[in-house]
Structure formats: C-alpha cells, structure tokens
Structure 1
Amino acid sequence: MEERVANGHQVDTRSTAHFLHDYASEQADLRRLYEQAKIDQWNAATDIEWAAPLEGDGGLISDDLVDIHGTRFWDAMSEADRVELNHRITRWRLSTLVQGEHGAMLLCSQLVDCVQGQDAKLFQATQVADEARHNEVLQRYLELRLDGETYGLGGNVKEIFDTLLSTSSWYLKTIGLQLVAETFAVSLFRMLAESSKDPVLRQVCRRILQDEARHMGFAMLSLPEIVGQATEAEHREMEDFAVWALSRTLGGIFPLGAYQDMGFGKAELDEIKQFRRERAAGGDETAFRKYFRRDLHDGLVRNLRKVGLLTERITPSLQSFGIKLAA
C-alpha cells in the first residue's frame, strides 16, 4: 500500500534480511568487482570542474536531442528561445535521471539485506554509495546550471521503482535494476558524455558511466547461476519480469512540461508527438539518437543472452519493442 508523504511518496516494502555468520569470500569475480568499486570511488563535490564556463551558444545538450530540432517549430524560434528550450529539455531529462538515481539508492539498500553471500553484500554496499553520489551530482548540476528547478516524477519512473521496491525477490530486483535499467543507463550516459555541449555535463556523465558499467556487471555475474537453476515456473517469472521492465524502461515519457513552459499548445504538442513516433518508426532519427538506440539494443540482447533470459518465448515481445536479435 502506498501513502503520500510531504515532498514524496511512501512505498510499503517486504524483504528478508540474510545476516551472515561467515564472512569469507566465495565468489572471486564479485570480489574483484567490489575491489574495483573501491578503486573507482570519486567525490561529486571536488572531482568535477564545476566552474568550467559554458561553450558555444550556451546550450547544454546536443540540439539533436530536442524533438523539434529540424522541424518548422524549430525554424520559427529565435536563437534565444532555442537555447531556452534546450535548457528546459535538459532540466526535464536530468530531473528524470536524478529521480531514478534516488530510486536506485533505495533499491540497492534493500539488496544489501536480501542478497546472499559476502561478496554480493559488499558490492551492493558500494552501489548504495555510488547511487547516492549520482543523485547528489545530478542535483548539484541542476542547482548550478539550471537554478535548481526540477520537473515532477515521471510516470514510468515511479511505476518502475515502486514495483522494484515492493518486490521481495532479490533476483527480480536485480533483473529490473542492474540488467534492464543499468543497461539503459550505460547507453544513455555514454551518449550524453559524447554529445553534450556543456563540458561540465560531459564530465558528470563520464564519471557516472564508469560506475553504471560496474553495476551492470553485477547482474552479469550474479544472475546466470540463479537463472540456470530455476524451475520452469521460476524461469517464466524471470522472463516476464524482464519483459515488463523493458516495456516500462523503453516506453519513455514525453517532456510535456518543457514544451508547455515554452508556450506550445495542445495541437502543436500532438503534432510533435506524432512526428517523434514517425521518425522513430521510420529510422529517420538524428545521429546521436541512432547511436543510442543501436548501442542500447545491442547491449540488451547481449546481456539478456549472457544471463540466460533471451528465449524464444520472449522474442516476440523484444521485437515489438523494436529490438533486433541479430546482435
């Protein structure tokens, strides 16, 4: 049962804490991942060049990532309004990410309890710290570059984390977070690290990307054994959960508030949404969007196959999401 609380919401959770009495290392690969996590720690307050000036026209992300770029709407805007829309789209995108990183921090704190094995627990403790740092660094960026304003919690983000937080099984949590969401995050932060106009945002994304790749590695190391030992019913449950997580993660949300703040009306927004759908369906996307989609889909196919969840049963669902299985 969910309850609203001030400046947020409450999710009732249920999990089993495994309190170990033997702390010897049993999984060498996970212990190496933990050791790497300790080496890779960084400080959001001091390891980013926050004072670096903006470059170019003052935009933050590539204009290619603004839906109306190259359309009649874009052509009709003044240069100042284009930069303002760029900033608002960036604010919307980073608001969604900072919310996701906060949800991941809460979820990983649960995983410290419910994963079994010393090495898994130690690694999950480092991921709690990582997600806290990502939450901090993205919020700090919003405050320093975008006056601290944020957009509200996106529908898909809320549903994803409410479901993962209330799920009792550690391996379903891991499928939803480290397998699906982290694979998405790796491709997204990689694209932003390469394409953003702001050198500070590029630094932030490169730092986060280093951590996200390691988080994805936890799924690659922890899931194959549990998937391989699952009963037929358990395997179907894992497959279905992966498909659900993919549908919510890939479904995305439209930056409605950003366009409304710029004065776009309903008819214009409907046209922009239709243009966005047609462009994606026809493969007529900009270079950075194509790069992101190809990188993401290849990563999802590779990782689902590696952990043993890429089956004929879920193939139709993956294809319905536009994922090609030739990777």
Structure 2
Amino acid sequence: MASEPTMDRISTTLETVFQRSYAVEAPDLRRLYENAKRDQWNASRDIDWTADVDPERGIFADELIDGHGTPTLNHLDAPTFKRLNVEFSCWRLSQLLHGEEGAMLACAQLVDMVPGNDAKFFVATQAVDEARHAEVLSRYLIEKCGGKIYPINGNVKRIFDYILGHGKWFVKTVGLQLLAETFAVSLFRMLMETAKDPLLRQICRRILADESRHMGFSVLSLPDEIRSLNSSEMRELEDFVREALTLLLSGQFPREAYEAVGLNSADINTIYHARKEIARGTDYAYFRKLFRREMHSTVVTNMKKVGLLNDRTTAFMRDMGIDTNLASAA
C-alpha cells in the first residue's frame, strides 16, 4: 500500500510492580499459566506452509464481504468479484494482524503493571501468544496473498492508542481481554468454520486455542479490582467500554478494498449505507447472525462476571442493539 505510516509512538506512564513474592497466591491464574505452557505451538512447524492458496477460489466466504447481495456487487463480473474477495479478505486479516500486534504490546505493558506473580506469569505467556498470532497472520498475508497488508483502520488504531496509552492495568485488561479479544474470537471462529481456504481455517483453529485463555484472564483478574473502584473510576471505565464497543461494532469498513478493484466513491458509499439494512434483513448470512449473537452473548456474559453489567452499561448496550438478556442463556 502507498504512503501510510507503519509506525507510531504512543507516550504513556506506567507503574511497574516488581513483585518478589513467589508463592502461589491466585491458584486459578496459576492454572491458566500452566495451561498456556502446555498448549504452546510453533507457527513455523505446526502450520502447513506448503499448502497452496488459490485466489481463484477465494479466501473468505463470499457472504462475509460487506455489501454482498447488493445491486452494486451483483453487477460485478466474476473476475472482479473474485479479486474483491481476495482484497476484502486481506483487508480484514490486516486489521486482525494489527490487533494482534497491539495486543502483544499491551501484554508486555501488563507484565510490568499487574500486581501478582500469578498474573505476571500468565500475561507473559499471552505476550508470546500474541507475537505468534502476529507472526502467523503476517506470514500468511506475505507468502500466500502477495504481501497485501492494508494500513490499520482508524477505529482499531483509536482503541489501541487508548489501551496502550492508559496507565491503569485493569483498563487495559478490559479493553484487550474483555472486549477486543471477544470480537477477535468470534471472528476467528466464524472464519475457521466458513473460510474457503483450508490453510486459513487451520490457522484460525490454532489461534482460537489461545484466545479462550486470554478472555479467561479478564474474568479471573478483574472482579475484585472493579469492586474496589470509586464512583468516578467506575464511570470512567464505563465510558471506555461504551466507546470501545462503538468502535468495534460499527467502525470497520473496508473502503480501500473496494477502491482496489475499481469501485467509485458513489458505489462504495451505497454499500456503506446499505450495511445496516442488510443486517436487519432476512437474507443476512446465517453465520454472520451467529457471529453477532456469539459476540454479544460473550460480551454480556463476561461483563456480568466481572461486575461491569449495571444499569448504565445495560442502557447504552441496548441502544447499540446488544441484547443484555443473553447472559442468562450463555
């Protein structure tokens, strides 16, 4: 891609906790650490990089492309639509890649910041996990997709600017493990089940094995901290949850992918405005409905577990279209 910057510097002030108590104080977190050690995998050895990726077959399921079924995309000839599938897939995988890189940096900060060694040990393994995910996704894009890595989406960047720049470990944990990871897990699971490319399905299966542990860290580490917050701190955290959810749920539109196949601004804007109507309709792809329901259900359930589901968060989540009754069914 042309002239987009590939590096940012984010100023932050972190409090490092040099913990010299080594007894097991949080057995659940220590068990999560043991599971992380047990389940490590090697992206160079455990992925079949000899497998061919056939762009003519496509990478993602066609129904995952924003605007699928609209007159604008229905009028594309077959070769152009195949190219759009590849461009859209590269765009979406690029955003996941940037998210994994940001998660690695956030976990490196959390090793300093979290107060106990049981938590520090686990978050250190998550930093390794996120590095591996960034490695495997970048290698897939470089070796199998012609090196097409799109710039970071503005909303993804805003989320990670905030997470990386914030000085409180529990805010980073809410943003990363509770919210961003939930979106990533739901998307990786959908790709594992529906992607046209078998190699991508294999990669997603491996990544998912790690991600469930990461969400587990937030559920184990946050409740006591959240209970200790005063009203001002709680309101700040609730405001962050609202902003992060808004960015995750509504702000990722692959304009550059449409431009890459020659669509003009008017056509792209038509697709942009048609997205919500498509989501409301009966023709909305079944697995996209499942993705949305799974993500909403997991967010609601985990927010309830950590003590973040209250009258205020319930109200703004309902305004976003999130059914806050899903927690009881999860």
Normalised to the residue count of structure 2, the TM-score between the two structures is: 0.94
Deviations 1:204-259 (A, max 9, x none): 11111111111000000000111122222222222222222212222232100110
Tell me the amino acid that sits aligned with residue 164 of structure 1: I
Partner of 1:285: 284
How far did 1:100 drift? 0.7
Q: More displaced, 12-21 or 235-244?
A: 235-244
Q: More displaced, 45-54 or 73-82?
A: 73-82
The percent identity for this pair of structures is 50
Q: More displaced, 232-241 or 292-301?
A: 232-241
Partner of 2:32: 33
C-alpha distance in 1 between matches for 2:160 and 2:283: 32
Tell me the amino acid that sits aligned with residue 40 of structure 1: D
Partner of 1:304: 303
- Tell me, yes or no, if structure 1 residue 238 matches structure 2 residue 216: no
C-alpha distance in 1 between matches for 2:252 and 2:141: 20
C-alpha distance in 1 between matches for 2:30 and 2:278: 45
CA contact (8 A) 1:175 1:241 kept: no
C-alpha distance in 1 between matches for 2:282 and 2:226: 34
SS of 2:311 mapped into structure 1: coil
CA contact (8 A) 2:187 2:291 kept: yes
SS of 1:11 mapped into structure 2: coil
C-alpha distance in 1 between matches for 2:320 and 2:43: 35
Tell me the amino acid that sits aligned with residue 271 of structure 1: T
Q: More displaced, 50-59 or 158-167?
A: 50-59
How far did 1:286 drift? 1.1
How far did 1:55 drift? 6.6
Tell me the amino acid that sits aligned with residue 176 of structure 1: G
1:43-54 map, 5 Å: 43-54=42-53
CA contact (8 A) 2:67 2:272 kept: no
Partner of 1:42: 41
Partner of 1:200: 199
Q: For the structure 1 residues 226 and 300, does the alpha-carbon distance in structure 2 shift closer, same or farther, using more than 3 Å as the test?
A: same
SS of 1:314 mapped into structure 2: helix
Q: For the structure 1 residues 283 and 34, does the alpha-carbon distance in structure 2 shift closer, same or farther, using more than 3 Å as the test?
A: farther
C-alpha distance in 2 between matches for 1:283 and 1:252: 23
Deviations 1:160-207 (A, max 9, x none): 111111100000000110111111111111111101000100011111
Partner of 1:171: 170
Report the aligned-residue RMSD. 1.6
Tell me the amino acid that sits aligned with residue 125 of structure 1: A
Partner of 2:220: 221
Partner of 2:101: 102
Partner of 1:85: 84
Partner of 2:272: 273
Q: For the structure 1 residues 138 and 56, does the alpha-carbon distance in structure 2 shift closer, same or farther, using more than 3 Å as the test?
A: closer
Partner of 1:16: 15
Tell me the amino acid that sits aligned with residue 308 of structure 1: G
C-alpha distance in 1 between matches for 2:283 and 2:294: 16
Tell me the amino acid that sits aligned with residue 59 of structure 1: G
Deviations 1:132-168 (A, max 9, x none): 0000000000012211121111101111111111100
CA contact (8 A) 1:49 1:200 kept: yes
Q: How many residues align?
A: 323
How far did 1:6 drift? 6.6
CA contact (8 A) 2:55 2:82 kept: no
CA contact (8 A) 1:96 1:153 kept: yes
C-alpha distance in 2 between matches for 1:290 and 1:97: 20
* Structure 1: gaps of 5 or more residues: none
Normalised to the residue count of structure 1, the TM-score between the two structures is: 0.95
CA contact (8 A) 1:101 1:132 kept: yes
SS of 1:230 mapped into structure 2: coil
Partner of 1:260: 259
